[in-house]
Structures are given as structure tokens and as C-alpha cells.
């Protein structure tokens, strides 16, 4: 049986690390594409040569030509400018909208049956751009945000509690950014409510740190942004699609009647399998949670309104 094909657009830190995680997991053959000549070729060759050491047989190639991505099963789009200290995700809107529009159109032409996973920021608006430019059904265009945000939340909780990160289950809603909505009420430690382990004030501090998780890393690095965890989150989504795992993951997906969103890509729990976002899971929300989610969705709507003028 032929191996699955994964194309990763953008050979910067996030893209190259996506290739690394995907190769180690043995998910399929990998194409790493970038506009800079030599960059994807060099990184792909280096990673390919790690195969005999780590025991993966993936064919890994780097390219500057979209024709090499043809027939992809999953495409991870990391292209775009990265945030720098003091820069908001909104500042990236115009430049990255142009990039994601061009990338998505090129990919759709050669891989009409692929599922797109968008990582470029501002995330919720860029998923919308990819959907419009590709012409794909909405279920085959997903944004990677909630998996990363939930991972940060779970990591902070595990350290606070002193337990394995594997025992923390958590869910988030809303846009990717400072107005995301972590849900402590849906957070458990091996099925036990997190409130039995972490006092309310400490939990609130962890929630706030989660919201600022990306900015915290940017401020520490000073010359770049996070890439290990964003790449791992993207590949977890790719794995769910390629292996039809039917994972329930928080992703930016198209919601119409669900949650009363009205036709926007926002972060909600969904069942992820071979068809992409196969089902949206609607949680029962408290009045406070609903209000916070509404604020987050309103910001997504503002971004989409702005990006529609650009595309």
C-alpha cells in the first residue's frame, strides 16, 4: 500500500518541525515547500538522513515547486510572517492574507482531495482565507489553535499538580489569542474535576497564562515565536486525519448554526478523521462561558470583515 503524502508549506521553524514530528511518527512521505531556494531542500535532506537512526522510511523532499505537492492527502500551511515582540496577530492580517490566498489556490489545483490544516496567523481569519481560496468544502479546512492552547493549559496544570501531562484532559473554545476561552469546568485529572487539585485563584492564574502563552514565548525568544508545540499540535491533527483516528480535538472549524456562530471558523471541539472536521461537538455552556465565547467570536467576525476587504 502506498504511503500517505503530507505537504508542509513553509520551511521555517514551524514547518520544519512539523516535518520532523511527522517523520518520527511514520505518517507518510513528506514534501517541504518554501519560496526560498535551497532552504526546504537542505532541511528535507538533513531530516531524510535521520531516517536510518530513528528508523523511519519516509521519503522526504524539499522543493520550491507546487507541482511536487500534487496528490497530497494532508497539507499543513505554516506560510506567513511570524509575530515579533510588540506585534499583535492582527498586525499580520494583510500580509498573511495575501500569502495564504496564493498558497491555498495553488494547493487546491494539485491536491483537490486534500485536507488543509492552517497554522498561519491571525489563525481564525487565515482559515477563512484558505477556505475561500481553495474552494474546498468547509469540513476539509481546519485551523490549528485549540490543540496547541489546550496543550499549554494541560502542561501548566500538570506541573502545578505534580502529575503526568497524560492524565490532564482539557477543552477550550473561541478564537486563537488573548480572548480564547479555557473551560475549567470541562477540565479533569484522570476523570477527577481539576477543582479538587487546584484552588480557584491558582486555576485562574493558569488560565490567564494559557491565554498569554504565545506572547510569553515571543518575549523570551525576542527574535521568533513558538514552534515545537505548534508543530506537534499540527501533526496530531494530521495524524487523526491520515489514520482516521476519530479524535475529539479543539480546532478552528466552520460553525453555522452550531453555538449560534453564524458562519465563521472558530475554535470548538470536533471529531477529526479522514473526512476532516467530521462532527462538531456542542457543549452545554454556563452564562459566563457563553458570554466569554461570544466576545471571542465577535473578534473573529471583526477579523473576517477586515480580511474580506483584502481578498
Q: How many CB atoms lie within 10 A of CB 61?
A: 16
User: Of 89, 101, 176, 299, which residue is the catalytic one?
Assistant: 176
- The C-alpha atoms of residue 63 and residue 298 are separated, in whole angstroms, by 39
- The C-alpha atoms of residue 234 and residue 263 are separated, in whole angstroms, by 23
The answer to whether 158 and 147 have CB atoms below 8 angstroms apart is no
Residue 176 is a catalytic residue: yes
Task: Provide the β-strand partners of residue 193.
Answer: 188
The answer to whether 238 and 74 have CB atoms below 8 angstroms apart is yes
What's the chain look like in SS3?
CCCCEEEEECCCHHHHHHHHHHHHCCCCEEEEECCCCCHHHHHHHHHHCCHHHHCCCCCEEEECCHHHHCCCCEEEECCCCCCCCCCCHHHHHHHHHHHHHHHHHHHHHHCCCCEEEECCCCHHHHHHHHHHHHCCCHHHEEECCHHHHHHHHHHHHHHHHCCCHHHEECCEEECCCCCCEECHHHCEECCEEHHHCCCHHHHHHHHHHHHCHHHHHHHHHCCCCCCHHHHHHHHHHHHHHHCCCCEEEEEEEEECCHHHCCCEEEEEEEEEECCEEEEECCCCCCHHHHHHHHHHHHHHHHHHHHHHCCC
| Residues with a known catalytic role | 176
Amino acid at each position: 500500500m502506498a504511503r500517505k503524502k503530507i505537504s508542509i508549506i513553509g520551511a521555517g521553524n514551524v514547518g520544519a518541525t512539523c516535518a520532523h514530528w511527522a517523520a518520527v511518527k511514520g505518517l507518510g512521505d513528506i514534501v517541504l515547500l518554501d519560496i526560498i531556494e535551497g532552504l526546504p531542500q537542505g532541511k528535507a535532506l538533513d531530516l531524510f538522513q535521520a531516517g536510518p537512526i530513528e528508523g523511519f522510511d519516509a521519503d522526504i523532499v524539499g522543493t520550491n515547486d507546487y507541482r511536487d505537492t500534487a496528490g497530497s492527502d494532508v497539507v499543513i500551511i505554516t506560510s506567513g510572517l511570524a509575530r515579533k515582540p510588540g506585534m499583535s496577530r492582527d498586525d499580520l492580517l494583510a500580509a498573511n492574507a495575501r500569502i495564504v490566498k496564493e498558497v491555498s489556490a495553488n494547493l487546491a489545483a494539485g491536491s483537490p482531495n486534500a485536507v488543509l490544516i492552517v497554522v498561519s496567523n491571525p489563525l481564525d481569519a487565515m482559515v477563512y482565507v484558505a477556505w475561500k481560496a481553495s474552494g474546498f468544502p468547509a469540513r476539509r479546512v481546519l485551523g490549528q489553535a485549540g490543540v496547541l492552547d489546550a496543550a499549554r493549559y494541560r502542561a501548566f496544570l500538570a506541573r502545578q499538580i505534580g502529575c503526568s501531562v497524560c492524565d490532564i484532559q482539557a477543552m477550550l473554545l473561541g478564537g486563537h489569542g488573548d480572548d480564547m476561552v479555557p473551560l475549567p469546568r470541562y477540565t479533569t485529572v484522570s476523570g477527577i474535576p481539576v477543582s479538587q487539585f487546584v484552588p480557584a485563584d491558582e486555576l485562574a492564574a493558569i488560565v490567564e497564562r494559557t491565554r498569554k502563552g504565545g506572547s510569553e514565548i515571543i518575549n523570551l525568544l525576542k527574535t521568533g515565536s513558538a514552534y515545537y508545540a505548534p508543530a506537534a499540535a499540527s501533526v496530531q491533527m494530521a495524524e487523526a486525519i491520515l489514520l482516521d483516528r476519530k479524535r475529539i480535538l479543539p480546532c478552528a472549524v466552520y460553525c453555522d448554526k452550531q453555538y449560534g456562530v453564524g458562519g465563521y471558523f472558530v475554535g470548538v471541539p470536533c471529531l477529526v478523521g479522514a473526512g476532516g472536521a467530521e462532527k462538531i461537538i456542542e457543549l452545554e455552556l454556563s452564562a459566563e462561558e457563553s458570554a466569554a465565547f461570544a466576545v471571542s467570536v465577535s473578534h473573529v467576525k471583526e477579523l473576517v470583515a477586515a480580511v474580506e476587504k483584502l481578498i
